[in-house]
Amino acid sequence: CFSKVSSHIFKVETPPRRNAGSPKGRNGANLGSMELHVLNHPLVEHKLTVLRDKNTPSSTFRELISELVMLEAYEATRNLDVVDKPIETPVAPMIGKHIAEPRPIIVPVLRAGLGMLDGMTRMIPSAEVGFLGMKRDEDNPTKQITYANRLPDDLTGRQCFLIDPMLATGGTLVAATHYLAERGAKDVTAINIIAAPEGLKFVQEQIDPSIDFKVVVCAVDEKLNDKAYIVPGLGDAGDRLYGVV
Ligand code: URA
């Protein structure tokens, strides 16, 4: 279901259902395609290998997540709104570029998304940070429970960056993206470290196609196992970040 647009940009496509009517709707038929950016870089591959290794301690794991999200941020912020800003260098006046208002907002999905926050705020120090606590219902892995929310009610015109290391079933990402869009977000970019093909397909099928949405990842792995863990993946990202294992 992936087609290549450039060396690292893919479109995730869902074949149209038979007898499909209008190409619209969350559960509709032909939903078009979603832009997926897969970083293609030796430094990313190297860091990802160390990150995945079960013998890598939590302290190194946290540093690598930060470094990887900073590399992803370069790609994820390519369409960040900027405005002209007149300044004077020690040599001459000039018109530079500056991040526009309203400020972008970074939304870590608790708990594992917190591990990506430091890297993102280092790249966009002026961004606002909101929090969304969502977890999958262990009895029904595609259902989500929202247990915490610290976000402005009005996100009109805001560019939103949703951060969560693992895009597994895609349930959290769909729920969180709709949550932001319903509050007026201008666009939503999901930044994940590793994605499963099943999760990408689910996101493509379920996200309202009217939302300006894209996904940036370091790798797309092989599959989900029967416990909805990514294979080969890196295990439970939250546990590895916070030293539970
Ligand atoms: N969440 C994780 O932390 N790891 C997975 O493999 C899937 C979901």
Of 199, 209, 200, 120, nearest to 159 by C-alpha is: 120
Q: Report the top-level CATH class of 2-14+32-241.
A: alpha beta
Annotated binding site for uracil: 230, 235-237
Among protein residues, the one with the nearest Cα to ligand 1's atom 7 is 229
- Under DSSP, the state recorded for 90 is S
Answer whether 233 contacts ligand 1 (Cβ < 6 A): yes
Q: What is the pLDDT of residue 146?
A: 85
Q: What is the pLDDT of residue 13?
A: 61
Q: Which residues contact 49 (CB under 8 A, 6 or more apart)?
A: none
- Domain residue extents for the chain: 2-14+32-241
**Structure tokens, 93:** 């006046």
Backbone angles phi, psi at 84, to 5 degrees: -70, 140
The answer to whether the beta carbons of residues 197 and 220 sit under 8 Å apart is yes
Q: What is the pLDDT of residue 1?
A: 67
Answer whether 115 contacts ligand 1 (Cβ < 6 A): no
- Under DSSP, the state recorded for 128 is E
Distances (CA, A) of 143 to 115, 173, 177: 23, 11, 14
CA 200 vs. chain centroid, Å, equals 11
Q: Which residues contact 75 (CB under 8 A, 6 or more apart)?
A: 8, 37, 39, 216
Answer whether 168 contacts ligand 1 (Cβ < 6 A): yes
ipTM of the complex: 0.97
Percentage above 90 pLDDT, the chain: 78
Q: What is the pLDDT of residue 16?
A: 47
Q: What is the pLDDT of residue 24?
A: 38
**Under-50 pLDDT residues of the chain:** 16-31
Distances (CA, A) of 73 to 3, 29, 115: 23, 32, 14
The answer to whether the beta carbons of residues 201 and 14 sit under 8 Å apart is yes
Answer whether 117 contacts ligand 1 (Cβ < 6 A): no
pLDDT digits (tens, 9 = 90+) for 10-55: 777 655 444 333 333 333 333 456 899 999 999 999 999 999 999 9
CB count in 10 Å sphere of residue 172 = 26
**Structure tokens, 39:** 């970083």
* CA 202 to ligand 1 center in whole angstroms: 16
Q: What is the pLDDT of residue 138?
A: 72
Q: Alpha-carbon distance 102 to 152, whole Å?
A: 12
Q: What is the pLDDT of residue 23?
A: 37
Q: What is the pLDDT of residue 228?
A: 93
Among protein residues, the one with the nearest Cα to ligand 1's atom 5 is 229
Residue of 58, 198, 234 to test ligand 1 pocket, by largest number of atoms within 8 Å of CB: 234
* CA 190 to ligand 1 center in whole angstroms: 16
Q: Alpha-carbon distance 78 to 18, whole Å?
A: 37
Place of tokens 């870590």: 108
Annotated binding site: 111, 136, 164-172, 230, 235-237
